[in-house]
Structure 1
Amino acid sequence: MALPIEDRRRSFAFYRDGLGFRAVGEPAEDGVPEPLRFAVNDGLTLMLVPTGGFGWVLGGRETAGPGVSECVLGLDTASAAQVDAVLARAEAAGATVVTAPTRQPWGYSGTFTDPDGHLWMVEAAPED
């Protein structure tokens, strides 16, 4: 998975400190790994590409402007308490909570945008 970003250091700090993702690779001169990648889980790596260099990924298509969401990224957790904790940690690191955590028919979830406006939903399955 790859997302366009405006500021490498800001995004590095947000995903490391706000979401607790583990950076992959050795730091470059600015202290941020190049390429900027995070291990999300055992099977998923997130690459963050500066907006100016993201064109090669899109084949000439434009990136979505601020406030436009073409997809919602999901993070599953084990409990409602973990949903609350992830949202609180993300917000403290610069996220904007879009939808406060609430119970839904499919479980417990809330959404936030990262510093570049990418929309994330944090959810937990319904508790018996």
Structure 2
Amino acid sequence: MPKSKEYVSDSDDSSEEEVKSKKQKREREDDNKATKDEKKSAKKARTDDETVWDLGNNRQVNVRNFKGKYYVDIREMYYDKEGDLKPGKKGICLSMQQWRKFMNVVKEVDEVAKLKS
């Protein structure tokens, strides 16, 4: 009867202590891997945590992380068949540089908009 991988060694005369040692080492490696996986999922959860500002009329603003870069996304939303609110095609996604430039002209744009309305 062939031995399982857990008990296979270079020599057939391996002691129980060697077997226990190898098993413990394998368990530590598995624990370390599980810990790394937990850290990755925790990090992902933190980056996925988005604050959303509602602009009314199914429009929203949020800051998204995409491929390690942040963007300000102003988007019209739609409801899918299950009734969930999903982002639509209509909208704009600004890089942080573009967002800062936009914020520098907001007061001017607001003044012009007040004069015209």
Shared fold per TM-score greater than 0.5:
no
Q: TM-score, normalised by structure 2?
A: 0.22
Question: Which structure carries more relative contact order (alpha carbon 8 Å, separation 6+)?
Answer: 1
Q: Which has the higher strand share?
A: 1
Q: Which has the higher helix share?
A: 2
Q: Higher Cα Rg: structure 1 or 2?
A: 2
TM-score, scaled relative to structure 1 = 0.21
